[in-house]
Structure 1
Amino acid sequence: MNDATLDRYVSFQGIDCDGNADRLMGMLARQMATTESRWVGYFEKKLAEKRRMGADNLHFIGSQVNTLSAFFAEEGDTEALDLLAYLEETCC
């Protein structure tokens, strides 16, 4: 099986899901630090829950795809939106 036909539900081998999830979380943190968006309070609460539950970044992203998408769209962050779409399609 080559990488083009790799079934993401069987194996994440060769896909840096965790690294890309970490990258997206860095983008989220940077956006949250520079905006007055209504989403900041929401994500602060959800990130505190994530820490308490011990969830990893990929789990958090998979659980928050729609809200992350709304936030990044509101901020006009197309790079984050593209990465989010890639993660959703490839890793979640």
Structure 2
Amino acid sequence: MNDQTPDRYVTFLGLDCDAKADRMMEGLARLMATSDSRWVGYFELKLAEKQRMATDNLHFIGSQINSLRSFMEEIDDQDALDLLWNIEHNCC
């Protein structure tokens, strides 16, 4: 990168995207533990892939945004949907 090429990640400064992603993943784990939704099995597989690929939480959320939204809508968790919206629009 030369001195005139802007750092595309500078826009993430001050947004605390990693902490938001961590909160989303903690919430996902809690919701999965108490739900019998078909999404639970799907996320179990995707989380195992995440671990094998050693990707971070923000990458996982960005890759699974539509599935996460569908799950959160199905279980009617507005707080999780709000956090997901914030991550999608500010961090992904």
Task: State the TM-score, normalizing by the size of structure 1.
Answer: 0.89
Question: Kindly, what percent of the aligned residue pairs are identical?
Answer: 65
Q: Which runs of 5+ in 2 are unaligned?
A: 1-7
Matches within 5 A, 1:13-24: 13-24=13-24
- Superposition RMSD on alpha carbons, in Å? 1.1
- CA distance, structure 1, for counterparts of residue 14 and residue 63 of structure 2: 23
3-state SS of 1:15 partner:
coil
- CA distance, structure 1, for counterparts of residue 32 and residue 65 of structure 2: 16
Matched, 1:38 2:34: no
The number of residue pairs the alignment matches comes to 85
Larger Rg: 2
Q: Which runs of 5+ in 1 are unaligned?
A: 1-7
In structure 1, the partner of 2:57 is 57
Q: Greater share of helix residues, 1 or 2?
A: 2
Task: State the TM-score, normalizing by the size of structure 2.
Answer: 0.89
